[in-house]
């Protein structure tokens, strides 16, 4: 019974957590939720101006910022090392950075767009997990009790018309999470995956009102999620309440189906 929290709870108090894609949307909602629950959070995104403004009341004892590019291994490695330099360790990583081009028919989608989607969604998740795990192992815990959350999509539960590249990339993200749970267990690091459905973010706003209504009609609650509802699942996976959960994929999409 080694490395089992004495009293597993849903708390992340005292944990140091990296959140990518954290300038707005689900990522920023997660930052705020983690901070409210006592975590120290390190943010990264291509641009963090909005997050810096919204979190201006927090000081360097609770929050850290560094612009970074998840598709650039050197950049995201620097981000993870900066988190450890500021807070002394890294306990969790939420791989939230992602990209979508909205609905676009297969025959109108370019190879360059496919490459860009996979660069951010797949390569970015791979590189961030790699850098984060190295920083976790270098932390005082040696990785024990640490946790990684991969962010896939409801689109990775079925084929999505008009979203070939996005759907393929999010299927791949789930595959990475399953492999991560097997490979990093030797260090005591857990890896899990969430599949958000329609969520009230800027990405969702790129769809036409008709498409938004159609998407919402395919889930049982007939509405998009608030970003904080997705962030709650992220928090649970990072917390000790999920200490025996690894290699799992959690649907956070209100039963959304394509029909």
Give dist(CA 79, CA 73) in Å, integer: 10
SS3 196: strand
Residues designated catalytic: 166
Residue 257 has φ and ψ, to the nearest 5°, of -135, 160
The two tokens of residue 27 are 């990522």
Q: Is the alpha carbon torsion for 56, 47, 173, 199 positive or negative?
A: positive
* Cα-based angle 191, 125, 19 (whole degrees, multiple of 5): 75
> Among positive and negative, which fits the CA dihedral 152, 233, 95, 148?
negative
| 16-20: strand order across its sheet | 63-65, 40-44, 16-20, 92-95, 147-151, 190-196, 249-252
d(CA 129, CA 122): 11
């Amino acid at each position: 019974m080694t490395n089992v929290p004495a009293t597993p709870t849903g708390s992340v108090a005292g944990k140091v957590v990296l959140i990518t894609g954290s300038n707005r949307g689900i990522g920023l909602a997660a930052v705020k939720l983690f901070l409210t629950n006592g975590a120290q959070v390190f943010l990264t995104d291509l641009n963090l101006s909005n997050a810096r403004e919204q979190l201006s009341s927090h000081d360097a004892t609770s929050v850290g910022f560094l612009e970074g590019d998840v598709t650039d291994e050197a950049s995201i490695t620097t981000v993870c090392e900066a988190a450890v330099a500021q807070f002394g360790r890294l306990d969790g990583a939420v791989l939230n950075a992602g990209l979508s081009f909205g609905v676009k028919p297969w025959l109108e989608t370019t190879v360059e767009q496919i490459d860009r989607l996979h660069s951010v969604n797949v390569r970015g998740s791979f590189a961030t997990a790699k850098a984060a795990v190295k920083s976790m192992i270098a932390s005082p815990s040696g990785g024990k009790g640490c946790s990684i959350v991969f962010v896939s999509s409801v689109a990775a539960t079925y084929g999505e018309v008009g979203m070939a590249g996005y759907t393929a990339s999010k299927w791949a993200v789930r595959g990475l999470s399953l492999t991560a749970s097997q490979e990093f267990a030797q260090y005591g690091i857990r890896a899990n995956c969430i599949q958000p459905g329609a969520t009230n973010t800027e990405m969702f706003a790129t769809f036409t009102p008709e498409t938004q209504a159609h998407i919402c009609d395919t889930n049982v609650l007939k509405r998009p999620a608030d970003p904080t509802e997705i962030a709650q699942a992220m928090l649970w996976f990072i917390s000790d309440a999920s200490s025996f959960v690894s290699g799992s994929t959690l649907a956070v999409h209100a039963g959304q189906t394509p029909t």
